A and B are shown apart, each in its own frame.
Chain A
Amino acid sequence: MTGTSTAAARRLRATKVPVLTKTRNLDQWICWWSIPIFYSVFGLVFVYLTRLMPPPSPGHTTEQIISFIQLNATHLQIGIVVLSLSLGLASLSSGIIVVQMRRMQGVSPALAYAYLAALAVAALPGCLFCGFMFALAAFRPDRDPRLIVLLYDMGLLSFVGSLGCFVVQYMVFAIAIFLDEREIFPKWLGYMSIWGVVTELLAIPIWIFRSGPYAWNGLISFYLGTIIFVVWEFCLVVCLYKAIKAQPIDESLQGDDSLAIAR
């Protein structure tokens, strides 16, 4: 699991690499393993604890919303605790993707930084706020019912409807893959990222509809988008695995001498 056993890597290492750099990819592997761990926690939080996936209906009446919050209060509170403790793990996966994007040739580092910044912002409405709003509703169950409804709407709208930053994230990732001359990631992953852009656009009408395929729990806005996201994420993890595996351990990033010296 150290990624150092490929023939190419061994050949490159053979010459003059100090022993210390053997661990070069270990940190990346730690980051890589954080991804399946993070998404397992993510699944536990969003599917089981906060009940955000699949989302409850936007067509619920006030009474239904209140009973949803009351019935799940404990789950929601455990959910927000687990979520706020583990959300930071997502930054590890962003870090490793940026490292791999920086390895690309013919691609400006600006795209990698844009990816990082877009995800850093997107994680708040797309991941934290939704659980946060639900837990807030559960915190004082005796709150004015209209406020509970407000929190419910805020949670789900921010969860499904936080679009812009994800669009940019998918877009810069796709552009970087297409421009890359080294084929760090396969081109098809770039095309899949374009699907990601489209699924985000398909969630626009959740701000308008309370039922049907384009509502926040609808076939198109939620299910299609989620399926494509899961497939994309899975492919990304596999491609990351291959990219780290193929990375020579003593490789320095373009224009990143500081890293080489620090090692």
Chain B
Amino acid sequence: MHASFPVEERDILIPGRERETNQQIPGDPSIWVFVIGEMVAFSCYFAAYMWDRGQHHGLFLQAQRDLSQNVAALNTLVLLASSLFIALSVHATRAGDFAIASRFLTLGGTCGAAFVVSKAFEWSSKLAQGLTLGSNAFFMHYYMLTGVHLFHVLLGLVFLGILWRELNKGSPPRARLMEVGATYWHMVDFLWIIIFPLLYLMR
């Protein structure tokens, strides 16, 4: 990262796309409609989880022991690292260093893919233990929460692929598109930051 900031002044990459002040929200306002909606929807899953947890507290504590906190903590670090790489990629894009931006994006995407692979291993080891969606209330929530989150990660990887193409197409990329993709990716990361303690840590 040798690009120098202030970022905002160097942000005008597309002709006709004005970005006059730094008070503007990042990306397209539409993505924030989406993010807020997602937060509301996920709040419903969290509320349902907490409700069931209150009903069967003992069962949840018992079932939680079947999960590996270490793997989940590693997952969290991987996802946080990927968010950092994506943020660095956006910064590099704004600074005009598209090659570096592309490299950071690849790193971020790799971390995201690593998350997916480790979730696949986690799921298959749980399934091998005979713990399925129908085993009990805890595992129902476990598979649904991690599954819906995983779907978002996969969608995010598609998003990152589009950004990668944008960065490598030869002409200057659209900074706003980069921001939209990054906003989505950070949202996915943020959701995991809530899911992680809810499922793995809370006693």
Is B44 within 8 A of A220, CB to CB?
A: yes
Residues of B within 8 A of A195 (CB): 34, 37-38, 41
A198 within 8 A of B: yes
Measured in the bound complex, the distance between the Cα atoms of B31 and A220 in whole Å is 23
Surface stretch bound by B, among A102-110, A184-192, A240-248: A184-192
With both chains docked as a complex, state the minimum distance between the C-beta of B25 and any C-beta of chain A, in angstroms. 14
Tell me which of B37, B52, B144, B147 contacts A192 (CB under 8 A).
Answer: B37
With both chains docked as a complex, state the minimum distance between the C-beta of B32 and any C-beta of chain A, in angstroms. 9
Measured in the bound complex, the distance between the Cα atoms of B146 and A26 in whole Å is 48
Is B151 within 8 A of A201, CB to CB?
A: yes
Measured in the bound complex, the distance between the Cα atoms of B45 and A212 in whole Å is 12
Main SS class of interface, A: helix
B133 within 8 A of A: yes
Number of interface residues of A (CB under 8 A): 23
Which residue on B lies nearest to A190, using beta carbons? Answer: B30
With both chains docked as a complex, state the minimum distance between the C-beta of B47 and any C-beta of chain A, in angstroms. 8
With both chains docked as a complex, state the minimum distance between the C-beta of B51 and any C-beta of chain A, in angstroms. 8
Q: Which of B41-89 contact A (CB under 8 A)?
A: 41, 44-45, 47-48, 51-52
Which residue on B lies nearest to A218, using beta carbons? Answer: B48
A interface with B by C-beta (< 8 Å): 186-188, 190-192, 194-195, 198-199, 201-202, 205, 208-209, 212-214, 218-220, 224, 228
Q: List 9 A-B contacts (CB under 8 A).
A: A188-B29, A195-B41, A198-B152, A201-B148, A202-B144, A208-B140, A213-B45, A214-B144, A220-B44
